[in-house]
């Protein structure tokens, strides 16, 4: 402004034409600078806001790549306008029930509710581990495939295509096609229907509900949902095909050893688990620990006295009963909490990656644990010394290694890698979960140590793979 005033005050020294030329030149220079700045800021913001545009290239588990099942192109502009009208007709249906449905499925990442639904089905430790691995691998691979298609076609969200369309929730910063919630729903519901066929109709209905919630919210088209469900189910079919040949239907035909140091009981839980097909291990025996102490050794006598003479307190009893509950659910809930705390609930592919990594580590560690259990058939404390008292019944399988350790430690290790700021918390939780088994009188110290050895070995393999999956 001062420069313009100076020019104006000195008009007697400049011709009017010269004044105009300088003014125009100055205006053009400033305009060009502002435009360049605007373009730069817009491009930067757009790149920053995009959710994982490279996730379609991440390493997968059952797919050869994210592009293996790339979906066909989305509907053309004319068809899109028809879909907009469909969404506009749905808007008046946003009553309290519809809003609750939208809110339910919008909580957390698309994988969040499906982990809750899966865990509500129950089961013993090996079966829960297998279920979580199958469900979360399916969701993760389906999400990678979805992201490949999303950024191949870059379809605008409905309200971006037609600004007159209202939405209940904010548009995610990713292309609309296919729907990430539908992809997760298609994958998870199909796997759960395979695992629990009597509830197939329930899982399928929940999948349709999840997809419809995105249409009711106004954030995705019907075709996004339809194609998303189909893509998720296609990935699930590959996961299910693998599951059918993982050996989990094997029947135990061996004989139980009857030595003095061997576990005593009948119908042990899932004795063939150690032979099941693994994800990162070559087999369940790959990380088998050395043998437990002989039951008549000095070490065994020391360990049984530690269990027998442990001075229980209210706090140790409380911890023992807490971890005696569904430990896998406790760790999945912890995983979900960290996804929320680290703001990954809006990042569907990265949240799916977290669930898949912890679930694979949990499953492979469980297979390795069971392989060692039924290789050594180690005696339980109360069987070695009947005067030992326990807080609750001893689990119906051999003592060495501890299964609870191979539930908690793999979760703790992988979560510590993914969320290093909270590593101390995860490790403390895993240690408490392990100690609680000794406090309850059902495990020896050597059972715990062997469980940690297995878990750390499996976790490191999972973490090494994660470092090379392209998500860095």
Cα separation, 49 vs 46, in Å, equals: 5
pLDDT band with cut points at 50, 70 and 90 for residue 42: very low
Instruction: Supply the CATH classification number for the domain 273-466.
Output: 1.10.606.20
What's the confidence (pLDDT) of residue 312? Answer: 98
Cα separation, 289 vs 249, in Å, equals: 26
CB-count exposure of residue 309 (10 Å: 0-12, 13-18, 19+): exposed
What's the confidence (pLDDT) of residue 394? Answer: 96
3-state SS, residue 378: strand
pLDDT at 45 over 90: no
Helix (H) or strand (E) holding 271: none
pLDDT at 436 over 90: yes
Among residues 96, 91, 111, 81, which one has the least CA distance to residue 219?
Answer: 91
Average pLDDT, the chain: 91
pLDDT at 48 over 60: no
Model pTM greater than 0.75? yes
What's the confidence (pLDDT) of residue 444? Answer: 98
> Higher pLDDT residue, 23 or 275?
275
CATH topology of domain 81-243: Vanadium-containing Chloroperoxidase; domain 2 (1.10.606)
Cα separation, 64 vs 203, in Å, equals: 27
| 111 within 8 A of 352, measured Cβ to Cβ | yes
* Token code pair at residue 202: 């329930």
Express each pLDDT in 293-348 by its tens digit. Answer: 999 999 999 999 999 999 999 999 999 999 998 899 999 999 999 999 999 999 99
pLDDT at 179 over 80: yes
- The answer to whether the 81-243 and 273-466 domains have the same CATH topology is yes
**Average pLDDT of span 233-245:** 98
What's the confidence (pLDDT) of residue 49? Answer: 83
Domain extents in the chain: 81-243, 273-466
**Average pLDDT of span 190-206:** 98
| 356 within 8 A of 136, measured Cβ to Cβ | yes
Percent of the chain having pLDDT more than 90? Answer: 89
pLDDT at 35 over 60: no
Helix (H) or strand (E) holding 102: helix 96-106
- Measuring CA to CA, how many Å separate 377 from each of 283, 319, 400, 454? 19, 27, 7, 17
- Measured at the CA of 279, the angle between CA 273 and CA 283, to 5 degrees, comes to 55
**Average pLDDT of span 240-268:** 96
DSSP 141: H
């Amino acid at each position: 402004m001062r420069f313009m005033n100076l020019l104006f005050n000195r008009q007697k020294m400049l011709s009017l034409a010269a004044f105009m030329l300088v003014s125009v030149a100055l205006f053009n220079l400033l305009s060009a600078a502002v435009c360049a700045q605007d373009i730069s800021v817009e491009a930067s913001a757009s790149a920053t806001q995009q959710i994982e545009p490279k996730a379609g290239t991440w390493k997968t588990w059952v797919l050869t790549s994210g592009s293996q099942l790339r979906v066909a192109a989305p509907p053309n502009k004319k068809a899109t306008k028809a879909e907009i009208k469909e969404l506009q007709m749905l808007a008046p249906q946003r009553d309290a029930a519809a809003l609750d449905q939208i809110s339910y499925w919008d909580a957390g990442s698309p994988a969040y509710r499906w982990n809750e639904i899966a865990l509500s089905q129950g089961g013993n430790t090996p079966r829960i581990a297998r279920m979580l691995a199958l469900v979360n691998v399916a969701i993760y691979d389906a999400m990678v495939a979805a992201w490949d298609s999303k950024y191949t076609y870059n379809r605008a969200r409905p309200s971006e295509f037609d600004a007159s369309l209202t939405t209940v929730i904010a548009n995610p910063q990713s292309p609309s096609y296919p729907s990430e919630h539908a992809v997760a729903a298609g994958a998870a519901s199909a796997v759960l229907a395979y695992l629990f066929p009597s509830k197939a109709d329930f899982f399928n209905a929940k999948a349709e509900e999840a997809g419809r919630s995105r249409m009711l919210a106004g954030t995705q088209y019907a075709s996004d949902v339809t194609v998303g469900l189909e893509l998720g189910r296609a990935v699930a079919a590959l996961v299910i095909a693998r599951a059918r040949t993982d050996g989990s239907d094997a029947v135990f035909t061996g004989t139980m050893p009857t030595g003095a140091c061997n576990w005593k009981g009948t119908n042990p839980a899932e004795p063939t688990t150690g032979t099941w097909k693994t994800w990162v291990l070559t087999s369940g025996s790959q990380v088998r620990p050395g043998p437990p102490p002989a039951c008549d050794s000095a070490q065994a006598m020391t360990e049984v006295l530690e269990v027998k003479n442990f001075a229980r307190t209210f706090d140790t009893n409380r911890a023992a009963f807490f971890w005696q509950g569904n430990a896998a659910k406790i760790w999945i809930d912890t995983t979900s909490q960290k996804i929320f705390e680290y703001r990954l609930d809006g990042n569907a592919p990265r949240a799916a990656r977290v669930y898949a990594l912890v679930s694979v580590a949990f499953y492979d560690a469980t297979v390795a644990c069971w392989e060692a259990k039924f290789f050594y058939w180690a005696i339980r404390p109360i069987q070695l010394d009947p005067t030992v008292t326990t807080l609750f019944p001893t689990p119906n399988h051999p003592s060495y290694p501890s299964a609870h350790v191979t539930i908690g430690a793999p979760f703790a290790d992988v979560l510590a890698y993914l969320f290093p700021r909270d590593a101390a918390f995860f490790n403390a939780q895993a240690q408490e979960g392990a100690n609680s088994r000794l406090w309850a009188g059902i495990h020896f110290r050597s059972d715990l140590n062997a469980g940690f050895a297995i878990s750390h070995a499996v976790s490191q393999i999972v973490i090494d793979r994660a470092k090379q999956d392209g998500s860095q």
